[in-house]
Chain A
Amino acid sequence: QKEVEQNSGPLSVPEGAIASLNCTYSDRGSQSFFWYRQYSGKSPELIMFIYSNGDKEDGRFTAQLNKASQYVSLLIRDSQPSDSATYLCAFRGGNNDMRFGAGTRLTVKP
């Protein structure tokens, strides 16, 4: 079983819609969780950090964490073509190591 599971996609949504990205993890010792955006040929860019259960909102992005279910999600409201990228979820484990999912490719169609 992979430690971080993400739907590889591609996920396609129309402009203005809500994009929903999901991630499950297996390490119950995980302390903090991250969502990154990576454009093709570029380095990952951190867009959300969450460490407590519940929702965290930042602009059009909302991260949701459920530690009991070992589940973290990212919602992107009012999706724009510029949001088209690969989204990586990651967690920092109990040893302070970082584990990443393989990423979900999102396409927002005008």
Chain B
Amino acid sequence: EAQVTQNPRYLITVTGKKLTVTCSQNMNHEYMSWYRQDPGLGLRQIYYSMNVEVTDKGDVPEGYKVSRKEKRNFPLILESPSPNQTSLYFCASSGWREQFFGPGTRLTVL
């Protein structure tokens, strides 16, 4: 079964405390990406990766880091989270004509 997993699903943290949200896919896709979704703003791409060791900035990369050391994994790192990063985050894995989203991570930064 095609699957994108994200962990954790819910996270409440405090300003400045580094965190990592993991993402893993089992479809051997080369393209993976991270999005945040905020009310009224839709989905905005944070970073994307065309392949291992290849990452590019999306629409809203400030305050985020990513790495792609293995094809299946694409973690999102917030080195010093701030309250404006409170959002719903989705990881996605894509082939040319398909895209599967993970279940989402709801992050609250106090």
Which A residues are within 8 Å of any B CB, using their own CB? Answer: 4, 8, 32, 34, 43-46, 49, 51, 88, 90, 95-103
B-side contacts of A100, CB under 8 Å: 35, 42-45
Q: Check: B25 CB closer than 8 A to any chain A CB.
A: no
Structural contact, A44 and B101, CB atoms closer than 8 A: yes
Q: Which of B42, B56, B99, B103 contacts A103 (CB 8 A)?
A: B42
Which residues on the B side are within 8 Å of A43 (C-beta)?
Answer: 90, 101-104
- The answer to whether A98 and B98 touch across the interface, beta carbons within 8 angstroms, is no
Chain B residues near A51 (CB, 8 Å)?
Answer: 97
Besides A97-B48, A100-B45, 5 new A-B residue pairs in contact (Cβ under 8 A), listed by A number: A44-B90, A96-B50, A96-B56, A98-B48, A102-B40
The verdict on B62 contacting chain A, using a C-beta distance below 8 Å, is no
User: Is the CB–CB distance between B48 and A102 below 8 Å?
Assistant: no
Q: B97's contact among A32, A90, A98, by CB below 8 Å, is which? A: A32
